[in-house]
């Protein structure tokens, strides 16, 4: 496995692979890798002859009061996680390598970014789309892998790839969870022991909502009320949002009469956790 930090080194490797006729799968990450990231690597490995993992804590997707400085980092541990999965190349650039002093071009997807996390984190998806575009241009992948865990991000990237005609297949991968249901996340490392116990309330609320839906409940107001109550009962939890939106447009829905995404963001202490599930109206 090769580990490089300059764009030129990646481009040289990608050119050689392209000349040899290899297909390339890309897994963009911010590092502090866990089994969620590794599931993306496994999917990339299955579909492609070469797999590139990028590890970059992208400063332009963090708001001024967010956790850029404290975001967990451990490159040595990440190298082992990638090696285990048979990754061919890690690209871990510095901030200066990605954004030189004159950097001034951004990619901004409208509309889909007005809802959910986009509404609460202004500029976040502009930062995500810009860095993902740069990583696509640098690594020239056939396919790129993103987690359903960040459902809005996946929808926004798909829209961007379609709108800007990137010749790249975007592959969404299921959420990987801890044994008690908490979605795996690098940010889970922020949680104290009591916060870790409390954090299971997100998954419990999801399971409760799914059970209500299974029993025939269609009213978003009624379902979200129960989810709110369940989470609010947990003293360490503070709800940022719980919303049902149309799966494609991400516009709010009142009744479950179309494929929908239920997404939630909850602070456990100071740590903001997100989770979601998809309701398929056809019942598939
Ligand atoms: P991050 O390093 O948090 O930016 O995540 C990098 C990629 O891994 C994104 O596409 C995430 O959606 C995906 N990912 C993060 N956590 C999980 C998880 N628990 N299950 C599946 N994919 C995940």
pLDDT at 211 over 70: yes
Q: How far is the CA of 5 from the centre of ligand 1 (A)?
A: 21
Burial of 16 (0-12, 13-18, 19+ CB in 10 A): exposed
* Per-residue confidence (pLDDT) for residue 237, from 0 to 100: 98
What residue's CA is closest to ligand 1, atom 6?
29
In angstroms, what CA-CA distances link 98 with 7, 94, 111, 158? Answer: 8, 7, 27, 22
Residue showing tokens 């997404």: 263
How far apart CA 225 and CA 250 sit, in angstroms, is 20
The per-residue pLDDT of the chain, averaged, comes to 98
List, by residue number, the catalytic residues: 37
Binding site: residue ranges? 30-37, 61, 147-150, 153, 176, 184-187
Give the start-to-end residue ranges of the domains of the chain. Answer: 2-173, 186-277
What residue's CA is closest to ligand 1, atom 10?
146
In the chain, which ranges are E strands? 2-4, 24-29, 50-55, 89-91, 143-147, 169-173, 237-246, 260-268, 271-279
In angstroms, what CA-CA distances link 159 with 192, 239, 250, 278? Answer: 37, 28, 12, 18
* Per-residue confidence (pLDDT) for residue 65, from 0 to 100: 96
pLDDT in tens, 87-146: 999 999 999 999 999 999 999 999 999 999 999 999 999 999 999 999 999 999 999 999
* Per-residue confidence (pLDDT) for residue 282, from 0 to 100: 83
What residue's CA is closest to ligand 1, atom 17?
36
% pLDDT > 90, the chain? 99
Contact 155, 250 (CB under 8 A): yes
* Per-residue confidence (pLDDT) for residue 284, from 0 to 100: 55
Binding site for beta-alanine: residue ranges? 61
**Residue ranges around ligand 1 (CB below 6 Å):** 29-30, 36-37, 39-40, 146-147, 149-150, 173, 175-176, 183-186
pLDDT in tens, 252-267: 999 999 999 999 999 9
Mean pLDDT of the 45-71 span:
98
Bridge-based pairing of strands 24-29 and 50-55 is: parallel
Written out in words, the top-level CATH class of the domain with range 2-173 is alpha beta
Q: Which CATH architecture has domain 186-277?
A: 2-Layer Sandwich (3.30)
pLDDT in tens, 129-170: 999 999 999 999 999 999 999 999 999 999 999 999 999 999
């Amino acid at each position: 496995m090769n580990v490089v930090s300059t764009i030129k080194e990646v481009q040289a490797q990608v050119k050689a692979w392209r000349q040899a006729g290899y297909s390339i799968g890309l897994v963009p990450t911010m590092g502090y890798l866990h089994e969620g990231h590794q599931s993306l690597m496994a999917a990339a490995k299955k579909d492609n002859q070469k797999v590139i993992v990028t590890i970059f804590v992208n400063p332009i997707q963090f708001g001024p009061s967010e956790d850029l400085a404290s975001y967990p980092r451990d490159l040595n541990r990440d190298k082992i996680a990638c090696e285990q999965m048979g990754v061919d190349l890690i690209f871990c650039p510095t901030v200066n390598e990605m954004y030189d002093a004159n950097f001034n071009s951004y990619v901004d997807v409208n509309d889909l970014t007005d809802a959910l996390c986009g509404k609460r984190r202004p500029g976040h998806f502009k930062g995500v789309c810009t860095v993902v575009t740069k990583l696509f241009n640098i690594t020239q992948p056939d396919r790129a892998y993103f987690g359903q865990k960040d459902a809005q991000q996946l929808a926004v990237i798909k829209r961007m790839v379609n709108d800007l005609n990137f010749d790249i297949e975007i592959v969404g991968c299921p959420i990987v969870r801890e044994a008690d249901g908490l979605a795996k996340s690098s940010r889970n490392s922020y949680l104290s022991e009591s916060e870790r116990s409390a954090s299971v309330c997100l998954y419990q609320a999801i399971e409760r909502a799914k059970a209500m839906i299974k029993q025939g409940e269609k009213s978003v107001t009624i379902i979200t009320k129960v989810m709110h109550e369940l989470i609010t009962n947990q003293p360490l939890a503070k709800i940022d949002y719980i919303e049902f939106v149309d799966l494609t447009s991400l516009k709010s829905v009142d009744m479950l009469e179309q494929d929908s995404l239920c997404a939630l963001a909850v602070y456990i202490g100071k740590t903001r956790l997100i989770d979601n599930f998809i309701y398929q109206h056809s019942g598939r």
